[in-house]
Amino acid sequence: MSANCYKCGTELPKSFSVFIARSDTCTQCRTDIRCCRMCQFYDVKAYNECRESNADRIVEKEKANFCDYFKLTSSYNDPNKERQDQLARAAALFKK
């Protein structure tokens, strides 16, 4: 399984698919890897932004944490692309 950093999109080393320590960071941008934003259960539309109902509430989603339910996600969503798509949809509403 290959995974990419949520922040910069850099492909993470294959060793991260086996074990991720709380102190592991992206080799490119030094962002924490073991954080909510890199978890399969992270969902901005879910309660507490987590689909795992038994997980403790974590306020800082981009900081390393000790969540027992953490599972590395393999998908990368460019936050700038999502914002641009939303702005384009909003602009389309007002076009004549």
Per-residue confidence (pLDDT) for residue 80, from 0 to 100: 63
Domain count, the chain: 1
| Residue in 29, 85, 17 with CA at minimum distance from that of residue 62 | 29
pLDDT, one tens digit per residue, over 52-71 is 999 999 999 999 999 999 99
Q: Give the chain's mean pLDDT.
A: 85
Domain hosting 39: range is 1-96
| Residue in 37, 34, 39 with CA at minimum distance from that of residue 23 | 34
Question: Does the structure show a pLDDT above 70 at 90?
Answer: yes
Cβ-Cβ contacts under 8 Å for 42 (sequence gap 6 or more) = 36, 49, 50, 51, 61, 73
Per-residue confidence (pLDDT) for residue 68, from 0 to 100: 92
| pTM higher than 0.85 | no
